[in-house]
Structure 1
Amino acid sequence: MKIKGAEVLLKCMMEQGVDTVFGYPGGAVLPIYDALYAAKGKITHISTSHEQGAAHAADGYARSTGKVGVVIATSGPGATNTVTAIATAYMDSVPIVVFTGQVARSLLGKDSFQEVNIKDITASITKKSCIVEKVEDLADTVREAFQIAVSGRPGPVVVDIPKDVQSAEVEYEPFRSKLSEIKEKKYFNLNEYGDSLNKAIDMINRSERPVIYSGGGTVTSGAQNELMELVEKIDSPITCSLMGIGAFPGNNEYYMGMVGMHGSRCSNYAVSNCDLLIAIGARFSDRVISKVSAFAPKARIIHIDIDPKEFGKNVDIDVAIKGDVKEVLQKINCKLEKADHRDWMEKIKQWKSEQCEPFKECKLSPKFIMDTLYNLTGGECIITTEVGQNQIWTAQYFKFLKPRTFVSSGGLGTMGFGLGASIGASMGNPGKKVNKCSRGWEL
């Protein structure tokens, strides 16, 4: 039986387990909204006041759940309103799929009302952007969009669908299984990377002053247990990037806080004095390394990441291992010797005790507020932030205990992110406390 393209879109979403979408209606997506209305009870639609807010909500949903966030926006200004949010997701490797409406195919290229080439506009800030030119291609394009969004290094995908494609009829064939269950093959191959793996293991076993630097890739991979095993096995302090917060418990004795411009004194001292830096799922951003020649000057560097483009991009490294963080750590952990770095850990404790404690004369300090929030929630909450000091104070002072509980714009630093993200996180985690930290005027 033939059904409309908009119905095909909804059925393909449900194939992927989508139960929540974020969007704002408009003329070029009315067929999709008709299909959504018919599917009520199966897919919940969250209507925002602006398309950028919808995309930020999908982003917050994805970051806090690990699932793909889905956005629906109309053509023209509706589509362009999502651009900043798409770039936000791209910079932080967040899987969202944005479905935009487009003018009918017969009106393309004629400066039609609310026509804009969103495919080309978003080409540099997505893993893929495309336009569906035939209704027969719609189902495969949607399925591929979800696959691309979650495979390898996650990121946003844009699918532009002309209005007449949404209304055209086509035979629909259900897919045999979810594409999310047929992700591209694992990058890690023991034979291919055996030399690098063995070299890394030898370097770790020989190290006397190791430091682990964990990034957002550890959160994405779900490697928190493997990370804990590594830390305890090699008796190493651990620091993180802004996006790596939550992968390791903030109340653990090995945890030093963030490193870099907004990092802790202890973390920066440790990185400056370590003899081995193990970077896991982290990119060496300018906010972390600052002056390249002065970054980890005494250390050899091991870099584990799923994206080989990060190797040597900002700092020189000694060993590169391309692969899924969780799987690579499993292979490494089983071959490591149990280490005892008590002298190094005593030095770490000394640096920790020398941490600066600002605003001591003022009880209502950022640290006091974050400590109070932690005590009230027991750390069992999700916190979203805006960008600026509210973000940094939250990252520095709140003791995040679990991954996917700190939701913030890191790479792009997008003001206005927090409110939409908090809505998305709330929808993705019913019953869980979601707190938004921002400056007063942003409320």
Structure 2
Amino acid sequence: EQAAVHAADGYARATGDVGVALVTSGPGVTNAVTGIATAYMDSIPMVIITGQVPTNAIGQDAFQECDTVGITRPIVKHNFLVKDVRQMADTLKKAFHIARSGRPGPVVVDIPKDVSFNKTLYTGYPQTVEMRSYNPVRKGHGGQIRKALHLLMSAKRPYIYTGGGVLLSNASQELRTLVDMLGYPCTNTLMGLGAYPASDKKFLGMLGMHGTVEANNAMQHCDVLLAVGARFDDRVIGSPKHFAQNERKIIHIDIDPSSISKRVKVDIPIVGDVKEVLTELIAMIKESGLKPDANALGGWWDTIEGWRKRDCMKYSLGKGDVIKPQYVIETLWNMTKDADTYITSDVGQHQMWAAQYYKFDEPRRWINSGGLGTMGVGIPYAMG
């Protein structure tokens, strides 16, 4: 069951569509919990359909009964217990809508045995969903985006910090357009690799505890930071108390309002879908006619190139028959870079070598567990 959920997760990460898994009740559900939690931590859209004992046996310690709703509540975006077969179509429609909209995530639909056996008149699959209590904001506030525009154009040492939210929003092309238009340096988190081409000179590599010197130093010394679909994770910034203590301004774009200023206080919060916000920001830049400070930007790039010359990812080939893992990953990249290649990884040092030495130029090609750090995902991810 755990592998089945991981496989559905891998499918969702690679395609952007909702992954679906079906497991039985009781131990089937508990076996699936790690897979569900893995998807939840990385905001992956999934619907997990679980079996349940008959409705009249719920709460009676029946064979293979467990409190699926209670167990999964902390690790899902939402869950349902279907008590009437007439609610089935509407519930499934809601489940897929919740899973893929706003900040994506897994949704559990728990179906008792008697409900799955019952029959009802099928009147068609609902075309729309009405949920008054759930209405995520997609369009960013125009005034906030305009403030961000003016701050970005006044920057002397700008930096664009992007995470998995760019991929989840399918906004890689918009990010590339923005970076090319501004000429600003860009970095990706572990979950955001591929959102911006790793082979491009404006890409400084991955940042964080396993990142490059230039990516991390730029984060510490920039005067304006544009954070896009990233959450200032502890593996990226360490302790918030010691993060980038120089005087600088932060713009944060995210679909989830609870993620903004959660770990680091920001100056210009923009709640909205990354793709829509970047599209509007690009349009405003074109309309304004404003240009970055070329002299200041040139000096900033000179500083960055000084850090880059340290070649922090350089390694020796070793002696005798020793084959360095870094060399293996680089060789793999050279052999597969011109093909439509997907790389899945388990969790550990090998995961970091892959992130550091495989140059991901396209989105959704790097599939691994980030937030939960789940070991054993690599093969089922590849199956999905």
One fold, TM greater than 0.5?
Answer: yes
Map of 1:349 onto structure 2: 305
Q: Aligned residues, how many? A: 368
Moved more, 90-99 or 101-110: 101-110
1:260 aligned onto 2:208: yes
Equivalent residues in 2 for 1:207-246, closer than 5 Å: 207-246=155-194
How much does 1:174 deviate? 1.3
How much does 1:151 deviate? 0.6
Equivalent residues in 2 for 1:35-434, closer than 5 Å: 51-175=1-125, 177=127, 187-189=137-139, 193-298=141-246, 299-336=248-285, 337-339=290-292, 340=294, 341-357=297-313, 359-362=315-318, 364-378=323-337, 380-424=340-384
Equivalent residues in 2 for 1:17-32, closer than 5 Å: none
Determine if contact 2:89/2:125 at 8 Å carries over to the other structure: no
How far apart, in 1, do the equivalents of 2:313 and 2:17 lie? 38
How much does 1:355 deviate? 2.3
Moved more, 224-233 or 312-321: 224-233
How far apart, in 2, do the equivalents of 1:77 and 1:419 lie? 22
Instruction: Calculate percent identity across the aligned residue pairs.
Output: 47
How far apart, in 1, do the equivalents of 2:31 and 2:94 lie? 24
How far apart, in 2, do the equivalents of 1:358 and 1:72 lie? 46
How much does 1:234 deviate? 1.7
Moved more, 201-210 or 296-305: 296-305
Q: Decide whether aligned partners of structure 1 residues 52 and 186 sit closer, same or farther in structure 2, where only a CA change above 3 A counts.
A: closer
Amino acid across the alignment from 2:31: N
Tell me the secondary structure at the aligned position of residue 170 of structure 1. Answer: coil
- The C-alpha deviation readout for 1:157-215, integer Å capped at 9, x for no partner, is 00110111011010111126477xxxx8772446xx23321211110010011110001
Provide structure 1 residue ranges, at least 5 long, that are not aligned to the other structure. Answer: 1-50, 425-443
Amino acid across the alignment from 1:333: I
How far apart, in 2, do the equivalents of 1:164 and 1:301 lie? 54
Moved more, 374-383 or 98-107: 374-383
How much does 1:347 deviate? 2.0
Superposed CA RMSD in Å reads: 1.5
Provide structure 2 residue ranges, at least 5 long, that are not aligned to the other structure. Answer: none
Map of 1:32 onto structure 2: none
How much does 1:370 deviate? 1.4
Map of 1:8 onto structure 2: none
Determine if contact 2:102/2:138 at 8 Å carries over to the other structure: no
Q: TM-score when scaled to structure 1?
A: 0.80
How much does 1:294 deviate? 2.7
Determine if contact 2:93/2:126 at 8 Å carries over to the other structure: no
How far apart, in 2, do the equivalents of 1:189 and 1:387 lie? 35
Q: TM-score when scaled to structure 2?
A: 0.93
How far apart, in 2, do the equivalents of 1:358 and 1:178 lie? 54
Q: Decide whether aligned partners of structure 1 residues 85 and 251 sit closer, same or farther in structure 2, where only a CA change above 3 A counts.
A: same
Moved over 4 A (4+): none
